[in-house]
Structure 1
Amino acid sequence: MRVNYLGPLCAGISHPALEGYDLKRFKPTCYLVEVSEEAGVVGPLMEGDLLVVDEQKPAQHADLVIVEVEGEQRLFNSHRIGGQIRLIPPTDCSGSFAARQSDVRGVVVSQARRYVL
């Protein structure tokens, strides 16, 4: 699932989904991405959701992680197997692949939704 980079969280980004959010609780290593239309409007991740990503947090088992694939930032579920990480797309488990910790651009630490259906 593709995500769109919005910028570092410490830059004071203003967005309706962040109203009432205490941005000071996040580390300076955090940045924002917005979930693309590939997510649709049903499920735990929806089009337009904002994700706070910590670029220094190491990926663990069952984390949502951001990885650059073919020039695009994409969202995956991580599955640790020993010292390796298997990346599984959140919408289609058939496209999984092995990765190294160095391939991970960040770990999702929070999610904000503008609208509740």
Structure 2
Amino acid sequence: MRVNYLGPACLGIDHPALDGYDLSRFRPSCYLVEVSEDAGVGGPLMEGDLLVVDEQKPAQHADLVVVELDGEQRLFSSHRIGGRMRLMPTAGPCESIWARQSDLRGVVVSQARRYGW
């Protein structure tokens, strides 16, 4: 699923999902992305959710990770297989891809949801 880059977490970005959310607890290596409309409105990730991504955290098994593909940032679930990593899409076609740690743009460390749609 696509995610839209919003900027560094330390900038004090104004977003409805951040109401009462303390961004100062995150490292300077963190940035924010918003989940796009292809996530839908049901499930653990929904359109409009805000994700805090740490670009310095190494990915482990079953992490949510951001990868840049074809000029778009996309969200995947990581699956470690030996020293390699298989990335499974979180929505859409179920075609997985192989990746190296260096291919990743960061690991999701927190999620904020806007309530009251």
TM-score, length-scaled by structure 1: 0.95
Q: Which residue of 1 aligns with 2:79?
A: 79
Q: Which residue of 2 aligns with 1:115?
A: 115
The amino acid across from 1:74 in the alignment is R
The amino acid across from 2:39 in the alignment is A
Q: Which residue of 2 aligns with 1:28?
A: 28
Q: Which residue of 1 aligns with 2:89?
A: 89
The amino acid across from 1:36 in the alignment is S
- Give a deviation string over 1:29-88, Cα, whole Å, max 9, x none: 000000000000010000000000000000100000000001100000000011111000
How far, CA to CA, are the matches of 2:93 and 2:77 in structure 1?
9
> What is the 5 A alignment of 1:1-117?
1-92=1-92, 94-115=94-115
- Which shows bigger deviation, 1-10 or 15-24? 15-24
CA, structure 1 residues 93+77, in 2 after alignment: closer, same or farther (shift >3 Å)? farther
CA, structure 1 residues 62+93, in 2 after alignment: closer, same or farther (shift >3 Å)? farther
How far, CA to CA, are the matches of 2:24 and 2:58 in structure 1?
21
CA, structure 1 residues 38+92, in 2 after alignment: closer, same or farther (shift >3 Å)? closer
How far, CA to CA, are the matches of 1:27 and 1:19 in structure 2?
19
The amino acid across from 1:38 in the alignment is D
Question: 1:21: Cα distance to partner?
Answer: 1.0
Query: How many residues are matched?
Result: 117
Where does the alignment leave 5 or more consecutive residues of structure 2 unmatched? Answer: none
CA, structure 1 residues 110+116, in 2 after alignment: closer, same or farther (shift >3 Å)? farther
The amino acid across from 1:23 in the alignment is L
Identity of aligned residues (%): 77
TM-score, length-scaled by structure 2: 0.95
